[in-house]
Structure 1
Amino acid sequence: MRPYYKNVKMVRRTRVMWGSWRIWQPRLVFWVGALMIGVISVLFARAADHAQEMFNAIRTANEFTPYLPLIITPLGFVLCSYIGNRFFPNSQGSGIPQAIAARHLHDRASQHRLLNLKIVVGKILLTIVGLFSGASIGREGPTAQVGASIMIQTAHWGKMIQTKGLIVAGSAAGISAAFNTPLAGIVFAIEEMSRAYESRANGLVVSAIILSGLAAIGLAGNYTYFGHASAIAIHPEEWVAVFVCGIGGGLLGAMFSLYSLKIARRAKRWAQPAPIKRMAMLAGGCGLLVAVIGIISGGTTFGTGYEQARTVIEGGEISPFFFIGKLAATFLSMASGIPGGLFAPSLSVGATLGSSVADLMGISIGLGAILGMAGYFAGVVQSPMTAFVIILEMTDNHDGIITLMATSMLGYIASRMVLSEPLYHGLSRAFIADSIKFQRAKNRSSSETEKSTVEEVQKETRDYDEKGTL
C-alpha cells in the first residue's frame, strides 16, 4: 500500500518538478545568465577605469602631451562612430533606449536586432575606446543593454517564452551590478524600463539582481560607489537649498534632455544620404570640441567625472564653472552618437552644480552636492524614485532619505513642465520605428519573392499545357 503522503497533490507536484529536466533547464540557464551579467559588469568596469587612467597618463606625460587630446579625441570619436555604425548597428548611445524599444516589440527577430551577443562585444569595446579617447560618457547605460542582451540569449538557449520580463530583468541586473545598488536596480526596472510593471516579472527581476550582485560582490567586494556621506537638511537655509537644487537642477536636466532629443532627430535626418560617413564626420567634430573644452578645463571634463563628484561629496572644493564644461562635454559626447552612458556624467554635473549652490549659500558642500545630484538626475531621466534610491545607495546616506525624496520630486516636477516625455523613452522611438520599417521591408521582399515564384509556376504550367496540346 502506498504511503499517504505520496498521494498528496503538493508532494506529487514537488517530485515531478525535482525530477523534470524540462522544468529545470530554463531556470538553470537563467541563473547562469544572471551570474554572467555580474561577472561581465565587473570586468567591464575594470577595463573602463583602466582605459580612463591610460588616457590621463598619456595626457600628463610631459609638457607637450596636454594637447594630444586635440588628435586622440576626434580620432577616437570617428573610430567609435564608424565601427559602431558599420559593424555593430544599434550599439550607439546609452543602450537603455534599445532595451526599452525591444520590450515594446513583439517579434523575436526585431528584439534580436537590438539585443544580441554581437552588440554585447561591440558595446563594451567601443565604450572602452570612447573612455580612452576622453569622451564624457559612462559605462552604466551600456551595462544595462549588455545585461538585457545576455538575458535575451538565455531565453533562446533555455527555450523561454517570457522575453519582455527577461529584458527588464537583464537591464535591472546590469544597473545593479554596475553601481552595486540592488534596490536601485529594482526601482529602475519598475519606473524606467516598464512604466507599466507586470507582477509576474517580480521573481525574474529580483532573482537576476541577487545573482548578478553576488557575482559582482565576489569579484569586486562589497563597496559604496561614492563612499559614506551624511546629508540632512535641518536649518532653513538648507531647506532653501533643497528647493533651489531641486527646481534648478530639474530645469537644467530637462533642457539637456530636450536638446538631446532634438539633436538626435536632426542628426539622423541629416545623415540619411550617407549615414556611416556623415555620422563619423559629426562624431569627429564633436570630439574636437570635447578636446578643446577638456584642455581649457585642465583635463577635468574628460571621462566619467567620478573623481570630481566624489571630491565635492566629501566636502572638497572645485571650480564653480566645472559643471558648465562637463555639461557641454556630456552633451557633445551624446550628440556624437558614440556608445556610452549618461548616468555617471549626469551625477558629476549635478554634484558640482549643487556644490556651487552650496558655496553661494554658505551651507555644507557635501549636502549641496548630494542635493544637486538628486535634482539634476531626476530632471534628466524623469524617474524620481530611481534618482533618490540610486543616490541613497551610492552615498550610504540613509539619514537624509526625506531630503533626497523631496529634491528628486521637485526636480521631476520642474522637468515635466519643460519636457513631457522622458529622455530614454523619446530616444527609443527611433529604434522602434527602424525595427518596424525593417520588418515591413522584409515582409514586402518575401511577398514579392512568393509572387514571382507563383508567376513562374503558372508560366511553366501554361507552357506544359501548350506543348501537351500540340
Structure 2
Amino acid sequence: MYCSGAVLIGIISVIFAHLGDAAAGLRYRIVALNAWSMLLIAPLGMITITWLTRLLFNGAQGSGIPQTIATLHMHNFMLVDKILTLRIALGKVLMTCLGLICGASIGREGPSVQIGASIMHAFSRAMRQHNDVTRHGMILAGGAAGMAAAFNTPLAGVVFAIEELAHSFEQKSSGRTLTVIIFSGITAIALLGNYTYFGRANTSIPVGVAWLAVLVCGVSGGLAGGLFARCVIRLSKGLPGSLRPFAARFPLGFAALCGLLLALIGLVSDGATYGTGYLQARGIIDGTLHYPASFFFLKYLSILITFCSGIPGGMFAPSLAIGAGMGGWIGQFLPHTSPGAVVLLGMAAYFCGVAQSPLTATIIVMEICDNQQVTLALLATAFLAFGVSRMICPHPLYSVLATGFMEKTEQKEIQKKTDPSPETGPS
C-alpha cells in the first residue's frame, strides 16, 4: 500500500511544480507590465497569505523540513497527527504558490518534504500501523521522496534521508525508503519526462591550478552559508528590538512590511530577487546571464526577510540561486577554471554552508546538472564549506529549527491541558 502513497507523492509533486511555474510566470508578466505594481501586490499578497495560513492552514508556516525532522523524534503520535495533516499539506501547496506570485523569496522543495511526509503518514494511519519505528520510517520515506521528486534527484533523496532527516539509516526502514523514493521518482519522470532540474552542465575541473576554485568557493560558501544559518537561528528565537512586539501585536501589518521590503529589493534588482531564483541560477550556469555581486547580497537579504514573515516556503532553491550568483561572481577572478564549473562549486559550497550536509549538497548539485565529472571537486568543496560553516554556526540549521519547533509545540500542548478554556481563534 505504501507504493500507492509513493505514486501519490510523485503526482502531487508534479502538480505542485506546474502550479509553482504558473505562479512564477504570472509574476513575471506582472513585473513586465509594471514593475512598480509589486509595491502594492507584494504587501497585499503577504497579508493574504498570513491571514489564510492563520485562519485555515495553521501549522503550514515555514519550510516544512524542521517540522518533518521534529516528528521523527516524537513518540506522541497524537501530536504528530496534528503536524502531518493533509490539510496542512494542501496549505503548503496553495500558500507557497501565492507567495511566488507576490514575490516572496521561497522554493517548493522544503514544503515538498512535509507534503511527502504527510502523505505517507496518512497511509501509515490507514494501514493501522502502531509500531513507532515503522511509523517513523514511513514519515522518513515520505519526506525524502518529496524532496527527490521535487528536484528529480532520487540519489539525493536517499542521501537527504540519511544525512538530514534522520542522521541515521535503520535497516528496517532502508528498503521502504528506497522503494518509496523510486516509485515517486518514476511517477514524476513518467509525467514530466526524464529531465534535469538545471539542464546539463558539460564542464570539468582538472586537478591542478584549477582546484584553486575549490579553496575559494569552499571558504566563501562556508562563511556566507554559516552566517546565514546563524542569522536564521537567531531570528527563529525572536525578532530583534521593537519588531518583536510589533509582529506579535500586528501580524498582518508586519507581513505587509515584509512584502514592501521584498518589493523594494525586487525593484533595485530589476526583479531578479523574486521567487525561487530558478531562472537566474540556470542562466548563470549556462553562461547566458551575468549578475553583479549585488545579486548575491540582495537575494540573501530577501530570503531572510521572507523567513521573518513566517509564510510557508522553503530555502533550498533560493539557496542554490545564491550559490550560483556567488560562483558566477568568483569565476571572473579565476581564469584557470571553467566559469561554469566555478558556478557549480559555488552552489555546493553555499548550500552546504547553510544546511551543513556535505553529501546532500554534493549529490544534489551533481544530479540537478547531470554532471559527474566534477564530483570529486564538489565533494572537496562541500566538506571544506562544512568545516568553515561549523566554525561560525556550531549547530546544524534544520536540527536547531526542529528542536525549537518541537519545544514550542510541546509547550502549547501543556498550556492547552492546564488551560481548558476554549480558544477564540487561531494562534
Q: So what's the TM-score if we normalise by structure 2?
A: 0.93
The corresponding residue for 1:42 is 14
For residue 237 of structure 1, report the CA deviation from its aligned partner.
Answer: 3.8
For residue 269 of structure 1, report the CA deviation from its aligned partner.
Answer: 11
User: Which one-letter code corresponds to 1:285 in the other structure?
Assistant: L
For residue 443 of structure 1, report the CA deviation from its aligned partner.
Answer: 4.4
Alignment deviations for residues 240-260 of structure 1 (CA, whole Å, 9 cap, x no partner)? 111110111111001011111
Does 155-164 or 94-103 show the bigger shift?
Answer: 155-164
Question: How far apart, in 2, do the equivalents of 1:423 and 1:270 lie?
Answer: 25
Q: Which has the higher helix share?
A: 1
Question: How far apart, in 2, do the equivalents of 1:365 and 1:322 lie?
Answer: 17
The corresponding residue for 1:107 is 76
In the alignment, is residue 256 of structure 1 matched against residue 228 of structure 2?
yes
In the alignment, is residue 328 of structure 1 matched against residue 301 of structure 2?
yes
Question: How far apart, in 2, do the equivalents of 1:238 and 1:286 lie?
Answer: 42
Structure 1 or 2, whichever has the larger Rg, is: 1
In the alignment, is residue 241 of structure 1 matched against residue 209 of structure 2?
no
For residue 271 of structure 1, report the CA deviation from its aligned partner.
Answer: 8.5
The structure-2 alpha-carbon separation of the partners of 1:440 and 1:272, relative to structure 1 and needing over 3 Å to count, comes to farther
The structure-2 alpha-carbon separation of the partners of 1:43 and 1:403, relative to structure 1 and needing over 3 Å to count, comes to same
The corresponding residue for 1:141 is 110
Pick aligned residue for 1:371 from 338, 345, 353: 345
The corresponding residue for 2:47 is 78
Matched length: 416
Pick aligned residue for 2:124 from 155, 173, 183: 155
The corresponding residue for 2:397 is 423
Pick aligned residue for 1:66 from 35, 38, 43: 35
User: Which one-letter code corresponds to 2:267 in the other structure?
Assistant: I
For residue 150 of structure 1, report the CA deviation from its aligned partner.
Answer: 0.7
Asked whether the equivalents of residues 237 and 361 of structure 1 are also in contact (C-alpha less than 8 Å), the reply is no
Q: How does 1:311-326 map to 2 (within 5 A)?
A: 311-320=283-292, 321-326=294-299
Asked whether the equivalents of residues 247 and 253 of structure 2 are also in contact (C-alpha less than 8 Å), the reply is no
User: Which one-letter code corresponds to 1:341 in the other structure?
Assistant: G
Pick aligned residue for 1:303 from 268, 275, 296: 275
The corresponding residue for 2:312 is 339
Percent identity at matched positions? 42
User: Which one-letter code corresponds to 1:77 in the other structure?
Assistant: M
For residue 277 of structure 1, report the CA deviation from its aligned partner.
Answer: 5.1
Asked whether the equivalents of residues 341 and 374 of structure 2 are also in contact (C-alpha less than 8 Å), the reply is no
User: Which one-letter code corresponds to 1:375 in the other structure?
Assistant: A
The corresponding residue for 1:279 is 251
Q: Which has the higher contact order (CA 8 A, sep 6+)?
A: 2
Question: How far apart, in 1, do the equivalents of 2:255 and 2:236 lie?
Answer: 12
Pick aligned residue for 2:154 from 177, 182, 197: 182
Pick aligned residue for 1:356 from 329, 332, 344: 329
The corresponding residue for 1:51 is 23
Question: How far apart, in 2, do the equivalents of 1:412 and 1:143 lie?
Answer: 25
For residue 197 of structure 1, report the CA deviation from its aligned partner.
Answer: 2.5
Question: How far apart, in 1, do the equivalents of 2:85 and 2:248 lie?
Answer: 21
User: Which one-letter code corresponds to 1:217 in the other structure?
Assistant: I
The corresponding residue for 1:33 is 5
Structure 1 unaligned blocks of 5 or more: 1-27, 449-470
In the alignment, is residue 381 of structure 1 matched against residue 350 of structure 2?
no
For residue 275 of structure 1, report the CA deviation from its aligned partner.
Answer: 7.0
For residue 285 of structure 1, report the CA deviation from its aligned partner.
Answer: 1.4
Q: CA RMSD in A?
A: 1.9
Question: How far apart, in 1, do the equivalents of 2:308 and 2:362 lie?
Answer: 27
The corresponding residue for 1:232 is 204
Question: How far apart, in 1, do the equivalents of 2:118 and 2:372 lie?
Answer: 33
User: Which one-letter code corresponds to 1:111 in the other structure?
Assistant: V
The corresponding residue for 1:432 is 406
The corresponding residue for 2:238 is 266
The corresponding residue for 2:425 is none
The structure-2 alpha-carbon separation of the partners of 1:317 and 1:129, relative to structure 1 and needing over 3 Å to count, comes to closer
The structure-2 alpha-carbon separation of the partners of 1:248 and 1:271, relative to structure 1 and needing over 3 Å to count, comes to closer
Pick aligned residue for 2:265 from 273, 280, 293: 293
The corresponding residue for 2:369 is 395
Alignment deviations for residues 359-378 of structure 1 (CA, whole Å, 9 cap, x no partner)? 12224221111010010000
Alignment deviations for residues 112-168 of structure 1 (CA, whole Å, 9 cap, x no partner)? 121101101111100000001011110000000000011111111111232111111
Pick aligned residue for 2:176 from 186, 200, 204: 204
Question: How far apart, in 2, do the equivalents of 1:137 and 1:207 lie?
Answer: 29
Alignment deviations for residues 247-285 of structure 1 (CA, whole Å, 9 cap, x no partner)? 111110010111111112113998887977533332221
The structure-2 alpha-carbon separation of the partners of 1:199 and 1:73, relative to structure 1 and needing over 3 Å to count, comes to same
Question: How far apart, in 2, do the equivalents of 1:114 and 1:192 lie?
Answer: 19
